[in-house]
């Protein structure tokens, strides 16, 4: 692409974002329209019942902006509400945190958009719902994986069962059963201030009544109090890299600082991937860098609640810290455990955009795990998150295997820690920009870090970097996951250095847009999400 591009993990949504750009919209507006679509095409991953983090790069000012639309704990939450009740934080009404998706979209539109009318960003998704949205292969697979939970839930079964066949929708079949959601989107699209309706008006009232009826914790007051946050420049996490490059991304509760920490450590190291021994050196160094960066994650939390979280994040991006880590001898490693595994994630989606003016957006949106809490609002058609499981409860690791951290204990109004890492890399001379992020739970951090490093340092193009096999080690639990495509000799070389492995078909889904120094825009949507995962541009 020569002018602009959008990369999402569903080509229908990438095309919607491209069309917004063609109509004169900027990167922020294209990202919002694309994200609305993802909530329709990938309802297991995102939607109005979830939240997101957005990083914005302004090509004129060469400054970054961050909008935190992460969900927050309800006001009546307490630290130990899920003690010895692990499923209660994952499934059902108690698992739901206050959604931030729409609040973030409106904040971003009002502060960084405005080229097009608000309803222009919502209407393509309404049209999809009216005409019927085609079931993607990944959605069809997720419906089958969660068949029992969906069919045992009357509301979910009503929207995900094909009335013609009586079975769950299969790949390619048109879903035209989400009429309540279409009605909700029409109301929001035609409103001069959708936040008044969603967070302070009739929608908030109807949802809060449903939660009260089902012993949930969300109240009208929770909706009324919710605010997305435009983070100040001092809160944004920056890393200065060699060759005039800078990374920017959100502060905690985002995992951006950990992602940048891995890249920071590796940025002054040289690797030769043309030989097995050189590749072993590279992967070994990546695993060790990951351990050091991930080990600090346990000390991070919402910067509005955890006093030292921002300082630790800035430490991860400092040259002094990276140099200290690099002083460890090459043979250094932490012993791992051989028989553990991480769950697969399908409850998150990422979108990257670069527009005709060189502005860039990186946004990761999520319900947490697939289909979130499995709670569907009868009055609005909105499927809700299960973000309460992203908090820590004493004595209980969360879904992703992270051990409990006091910095991430539940508090009313607090945002839970996340691995979401929507980052942007830009060059001071304005000749290069990379917007990149991923889905994949705790493996987001390693996926974004390795792909970014492969582009910036190894010299791969964005497709080569995203296609490249991945490893993951989050230190706790301390073992390395690897994709089966990794050559056996490479795995043997790493085992000789003391690494323990478990394999998966794939670890995470990376999506990115790269404006290279030749001026051409290269975009790629990860094949791991299925053949519908494609970018669009012009």
The C-alpha angle 469, 438, 323, rounded to 5 degrees, equals: 75
> Tokens 């004129």 appear where?
60
Half-sphere exposure of 530 (CA within 13 A, CB side): 17
DSSP state of 454: I
Tell me the C-alpha distance between 272 and 459, whole Å: 11
- In a 10 Å sphere around its CB, with 0-12 CB exposed, 13-18 middle and 19+ buried, how is residue 356 labelled? middle
Closest CA to 199 of 214, 183, 191: 191
Structure tokens at 460: 């791969």
Tell me the C-alpha distance between 138 and 41, whole Å: 10
Half-sphere exposure of 55 (CA within 13 A, CB side): 32
Q: Is 183 marked within a binding site?
A: no
Q: Is 380 marked within a binding site?
A: no
DSSP state of 64: E
DSSP state of 366: E
Structure tokens at 166: 């009586």
Asked if 410 contacts 492 with a C-beta cutoff of 8 angstroms, the reply is no
Q: Is 254 marked within a binding site?
A: no
Beta strands 63-69 and 229-231 are antiparallel
Q: Which of 55, 348, 365, 393 is catalytic?
A: 348
> Tokens 């435009």 appear where?
230
| Partners of residue 437 on adjacent β-strands | 511
A 10 A CB-CB count for 62 gives: 14
Asked if 171 contacts 178 with a C-beta cutoff of 8 angstroms, the reply is no
Tell me the C-alpha distance between 53 and 129, whole Å: 25
Tell me the C-alpha distance between 529 and 138, whole Å: 7
Q: Is 245 marked within a binding site?
A: no
Q: Is 383 marked within a binding site?
A: no
3-class SS of residue 76 = coil
* Residue 259 appears among annotated catalytic residues: no
> Tokens 């060790």 appear where?
288
Q: Buried b vs exposed e over 417-434: b needs ≥16 C-beta within 10 Å?
A: bbbbbbbbbbbeeeebbb
Phi/psi zone of residue 92: left (φ > 0), alpha (ψ -120 to 50 degrees), beta? left
Q: Buried b vs exposed e over 74-83: b needs ≥16 C-beta within 10 Å?
A: beebebebbe
Q: Is 275 marked within a binding site?
A: no
Q: Is 450 marked within a binding site?
A: no
Catalytic sites, residue numbers: 348
**Binding site for L-glutamate: residue ranges?**
70, 366-368, 390, 418-419, 441
**Binding site: residue ranges?**
70, 366-368, 390, 418-419, 441
């Amino acid at each position: 692409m020569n002018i602009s591009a959008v990369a999402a993990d569903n080509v229908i949504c990438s095309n919607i974002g491209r069309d917004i750009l063609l109509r004169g919209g900027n990167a922020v507006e294209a990202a919002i329209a694309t994200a609305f679509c993802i909530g329709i095409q990938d309802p297991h991953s995102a939607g109005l019942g979830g939240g997101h983090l957005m990083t914005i790069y302004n090509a004129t000012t060469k400054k970054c902006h961050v909008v935190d639309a992460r969900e927050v704990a309800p006001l009546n939450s307490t630290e130990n509400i899920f003690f010895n009740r692990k499923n209660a934080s994952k499934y059902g009404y108690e698992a739901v945190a206050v959604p931030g998706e729409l609040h973030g979209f409106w904040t971003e539109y009002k502060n960084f958009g405005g080229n097009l009318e608000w309803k222009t960003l919502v209407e393509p998704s309404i049209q999809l719902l009216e005409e019927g949205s085609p079931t993607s292969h990944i959605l069809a697979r997720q419906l089958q994986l969660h068949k029992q939970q969906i069919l045992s839930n009357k509301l979910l079964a009503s929207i995900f069962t094909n009335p013609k066949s009586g079975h769950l929708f299969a790949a390619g079949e048109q879903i035209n059963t989400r009429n309540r959601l279409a009605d909700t989107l029409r109301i929001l699209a035609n409103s001069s201030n959708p936040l008044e309706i969603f967070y302070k008006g009739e929608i908030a009232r109807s949802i809060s009544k449903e939660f009260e009826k089902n012993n949930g914790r969300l109240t009208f007051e929770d909706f009324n109090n919710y605010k997305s946050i435009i983070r100040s420049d001092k809160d944004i996490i920056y890393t200065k890299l060699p060759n005039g490059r800078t990374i920017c991304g959100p502060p905690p509760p985002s995992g951006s600082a950990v992602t940048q920490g891995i890249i920071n450590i590796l940025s002054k190291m040289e690797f030769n991937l043309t030989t097995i021994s050189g590749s072993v050196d590279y992967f070994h160094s990546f695993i060790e860098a990951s351990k050091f960066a991930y080990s600090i994650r346990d000390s991070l939390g919402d910067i509005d609640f955890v006093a030292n979280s921002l300082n630790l994040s800035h430490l991860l991006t400092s040259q002094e810290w990276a140099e200290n880590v690099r002083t460890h001898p090459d043979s250094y490693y932490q012993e791992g455990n051989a028989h553990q595994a991480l769950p697969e994630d399908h409850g998150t989606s990422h979108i990257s955009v670069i527009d005709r003016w060189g502005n860039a957006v990186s946004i990761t949106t999520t319900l947490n795990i697939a289909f979130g809490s499995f709670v569907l609002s009868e009055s609005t058609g909105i499927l809700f998150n299960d973000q309460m499981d992203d908090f820590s409860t004493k004595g209980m690791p969360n879904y992703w295997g992270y051990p409990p951290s006091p910095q991430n204990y539940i508090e009313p109004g607090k945002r839970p820690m996340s691995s979401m890492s929507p980052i942007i890399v830009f060059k001071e001379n304005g000749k290069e920009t990379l917007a990149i992020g991923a889905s994949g739970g705790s493996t987001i951090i390693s996926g974004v870090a390795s792909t970014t490093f492969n582009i910036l340092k190894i010299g791969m193009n964005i497709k080569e970097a995203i296609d490249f096999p991945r490893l993951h080690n989050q230190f706790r639990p301390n073992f390395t996951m690897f994709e089966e495509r990794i050559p056996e000799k490479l795995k043997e070389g790493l085992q000789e250095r003391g690494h323990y492995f478990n394999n998966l078909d794939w670890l995470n889904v990376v999506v990115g847009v790269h404006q290279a120094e030749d001026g051409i825009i290269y975009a790629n949507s990860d094949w791991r999400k299925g053949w519908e995962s494609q970018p669009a541009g012009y």
